């Protein structure tokens, strides 16, 4: 339906204020207009929508059924318009009204608070969403999320995105500290069971694909969808598993209680990108990606390198 030429937001605002004030005399005072000017604007709006909005046969005037509908919708339209103007103006000053950033649980635990501490001036209100990457996808596509830091394969089929590389890490093996057997991925015949990541997660799916590619099959014993629970189970001697350095950093106090080993045959890695919609948020996404790399390099990864030095050569922060 085409919007009538004589329908405008100013007329809608006058209508909403008149309805809220209970009459044209009162709204004229609030708007600092004459009563006749208010009456003319309301008459023009009624002409635009093609129905009467007020019943003028009674005093004080009351809304018609159509008027009540327009009042409810009109209030929302005016709220959305004010918010749009506010966001547009704050973006021009490089300060957003709000910013929603989604990350995996492990990335959020390691990076989230540091990022807010150093970048809080970017937005008046921050939302950090964590959880399983596949569920962030739909929220991002429906514009409920502004930025997403996720593994590169989660959104690889989506066009119209800006992509900023952040981080690349290898998958590694973890065993209980007391484990004395083989530390090779292909040596599955060991006393300890293999503890999986849930295939509800992008990480779990990636690990299972690699095991299938290598034609390695381990009995289904237990699976976890959170890294701390998975690492803790290994630390307790309940099994061994495949994980990543970032997942280990989600609960760093457990690192001394597991034996971390590289995957020699069939090694693989995962990449994290920061994604934003094209022509949106100006240079803010790139700045956040750069700051994320700096935080990981200076504040997060050294905790891991101190205990597992060989990992430093296997992790890339994509600084080129």
What residue spans define the domains of the chain? 9-92, 99-166+272-298, 170-269
Cross-sheet strand order for the sheet of 222-224:
222-224, 194-197, 240-243, 172-176, 258-262
Phi and psi at residue 22, to the nearest 5°: 85, 15
CATH 1.10.10.10 fits 9-92, yes or no: yes
Which residues, other chains included, contact 312 with Cβ-Cβ below 8 Å and sequence gap of 6+?
A: 301, 305
Residue 179 in contact with residue 240, Cβ under 8 Å? yes
How far is C-alpha 166 from the geometric centre of its chain's CA atoms? 15
Q: What is the pLDDT of residue 168?
A: 94
How far is C-alpha 291 from the geometric centre of its chain's CA atoms? 17
Report residue 68 as tokens.
């009540």
pLDDT tens digits for the chain (320 residues)? 567 766 788 888 999 988 888 888 888 888 888 989 988 998 888 888 889 988 888 888 889 998 899 988 888 888 888 777 766 655 555 578 899 999 988 899 999 999 999 999 999 999 999 876 667 877 888 888 999 998 877 777 778 889 999 999 999 999 999 988 888 888 765 688 999 999 888 889 999 999 999 999 999 999 998 999 999 999 999 999 999 999 999 999 999 999 999 999 999 999 999 999 887 788 899 999 999 999 999 999 998 999 999 999 999 986 54
Classify domain 170-269 at the CATH superfamily level.
Periplasmic binding protein-like II (3.40.190.10)
Report residue 152 as tokens.
């590169």
Of the candidates 67, 124, 68, 83, the one whose C-alpha atom is nearest the C-alpha of residue 100 is 124
Q: What is the pLDDT of residue 30?
A: 83
- Whether the domain at 9-92 and the domain at 99-166+272-298 fall into the same CATH topology: no
pTM (whole model) above 0.85: no
Query: Dihedral, CA atoms, 34, 38, 41, 42, nearest 10 degrees?
Result: -160
CATH fold group of domain 99-166+272-298: D-Maltodextrin-Binding Protein; domain 2 (3.40.190)
Q: What is the pLDDT of residue 183?
A: 87
Question: What's the sign of the alpha-carbon dihedral 250, 252, 253, 257?
Answer: positive
In DSSP terms, 16 is beta-bridged to: none
Separation CA 291–CA 295 (nearest Å)? 6
Residue 281 in contact with residue 96, Cβ under 8 Å? yes
Query: Dihedral, CA atoms, 83, 88, 91, 96, nearest 10 degrees?
Result: 10
In DSSP terms, 277 is beta-bridged to: 161
Separation CA 299–CA 274 (nearest Å)? 19
Q: What is the pLDDT of residue 20?
A: 86
Pairing of β 194-197 and β 240-243: parallel
Phi and psi at residue 179, to the nearest 5°: -65, 135
Give me the numbers of helices (H) and strands (E) for the chain, helices first please: 11, 12
Which residues, other chains included, contact 305 with Cβ-Cβ below 8 Å and sequence gap of 6+?
A: 311, 312
| DSSP tag of 37 | H
Report residue 97 as tokens.
């009204």
């Amino acid at each position: 339906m085409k919007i009538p030429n004589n329908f405008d937001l100013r007329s809608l605002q006058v209508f909403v204020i008149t309805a809220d004030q209970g009459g044209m005399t009162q709204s004229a005072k609030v708007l600092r207009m004459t009563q006749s000017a208010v009456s003319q604007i309301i008459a023009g709006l009624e002409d635009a929508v093609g129905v009467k909005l007020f019943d003028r046969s009674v005093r004080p005037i009351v809304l018609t059924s159509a008027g009540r509908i327009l009042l409810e919708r009109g209030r929302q339209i005016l709220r959305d318009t004010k918010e749009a103007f506010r966001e547009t103006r704050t973006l021009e000053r490089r300060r957003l009204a709000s910013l929603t950033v989604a990350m995996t649980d492990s990335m959020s635990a390691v990076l989230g608070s540091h990022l807010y501490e150093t970048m809080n001036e970017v937005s008046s209100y921050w939302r950090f969403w964590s959880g399983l990457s596949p569920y962030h996808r739909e929220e991002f596509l429906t514009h409920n999320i502004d930025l997403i830091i996720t593994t590169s394969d989660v959104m690889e089929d989506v066009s119209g995105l800006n992509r900023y590389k952040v981080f690349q890490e290898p998958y590694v093996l973890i065993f209980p500290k007391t484990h004395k057997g083989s530390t090779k991925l292909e040596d599955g015949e060991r006393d300890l069971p293999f503890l999986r990541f849930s295939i509800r997660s992008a990480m779990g799916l990636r690990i299972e694909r690699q095991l299938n590619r290598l034609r390695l099959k381990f009995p289904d014993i237990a699976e976890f969808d959170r890294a701390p629970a998975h690492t803790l189970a290994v630390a307790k001697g309940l099994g061994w598993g495949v994980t990543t350095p970032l997942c280990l950093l989600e609960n760093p106090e457990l690192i001394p209680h597991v034996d971390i080993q590289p995957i020699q045959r069939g090694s693989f890695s995962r990449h994290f990108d920061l994604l934003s919609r094209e022509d949106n948020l100006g240079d803010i996404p790139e700045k956040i990606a750069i700051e994320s790399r700096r935080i990981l390099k200076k504040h997060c990864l050294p905790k891991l390198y101190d205990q597992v030095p060989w990992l430093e050569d296997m992790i890339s922060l994509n600084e080129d």
